[in-house]
Structure 1
């Protein structure tokens, strides 16, 4: 599923039995080209060098195995599952800037829950972008679930309140709310997001069970900047990393977890509805080939 993400890294080590200075430089450069931050790339390579010396590894496959294990150990603490509330409805706010695959992620999430026999209601909280409501309604129609919507320019907080009211009346298991594709420069939209969070807490008696931030695997440092801004605004509980197929760089996951300490709940690895899957640190690390 994630094969090829670090192929460039694997190519550096292939055929090498030791980590000489040239190999170390090439390996650091390959990691940085894969969207790992420079300080983290240096730390990973140094850890690899130390382990190789300590364990007396002297072949390329041994070096690759050590690197896979280092990556796995760094990511394993951030492998987590979506929160399901003990008392329905579970409320998941889905956050993210335009273009990261937020609406598609919502649709895939809803389809996944429906396959598990759960009832799902969508809340069209992105009333800012033209056609956002229509997009969500189109997806919902394909999946066979309902959407609570009020049209472009409506108050997202009112949409959220109506969705929760409807979910409780109908005994719905999950409410998944779309939110405007807020750029972190739009302060008023970030405040609107906080307001939605407050409405959920008042109406449901607890904060949103998930505040899931959708990030594009290929955006590198921009993804970290987005995570920082959204986390400050509403407190992100988990990440959904999209576009993590065989062409993705993928190193941003390492930099994100290192800097933000936020768990990765889901990864998108393809176009099909079934291609949104729980994050596996082991599977990611094994992509170093």
Structure 2
């Protein structure tokens, strides 16, 4: 492996330091690194890198003072070439951005950001600006799921997704019936919303039963059998079916935006549906992307 470029900031004139560092970084090929030596924590420089090269660089402290600081800065793949699912795994807040633009990051998130934008006929620069506004250093904390054991990951999914989604979906079903019965005559689409919510509940409850009684126990036992692979494929198919229902609900409700004359219950229903969609998309993404990788490793 090629040795990294080394820059001792103390040897550079103050007026040229950042410019020299950025030029050195831009001269790197993907995967190459530079080591920065400095007499203080270069956190402001980190924020500059985050602004100029969002999610396209690695930043690792080799020494953290008190007299000398050294940072390994690695040039990574351009963000437009990064896989959509990987970007959301690093920062879950980006899931809302991608969802707003119709970019599927869970069931079909194995394509680059550039390709995803091309498929949706989106201006990639507009999407990048939206990503930057939503994300950013310290803007969103999330667990480092990739470092978790498979048992801890499954426990998290059960306690933070299965449990919450079961409870919330039951509330949504009751609220949908109430709103559809009271306002269905004025808003005919509510009848279809009620029907889709019923399909969604049936699909999810059945899916959870399969995961909790078949797939998860097999994974926890360390199975690498053909049966495990079949269960994983079944899981992905069911995820796609849930995703299709959510897509229909999103279109039917104008992206969960209630009409101006909607009552408080009507507005609450659409708000809960939008919140539910965000949670289950993150849930599906976590299972499709990370749980599967850990299960078959």
**TM-score when normalising by structure 2:** 0.25
Which has a greater percent of strand? Answer: 1
**TM-score when normalising by structure 1:** 0.26
- Find the structure with the greater CA-based Rg: 2
RCO greater where, 1 or 2, for CA within 8 Å and sep 6 or more? 1
Which has a greater percent of helix? Answer: 2
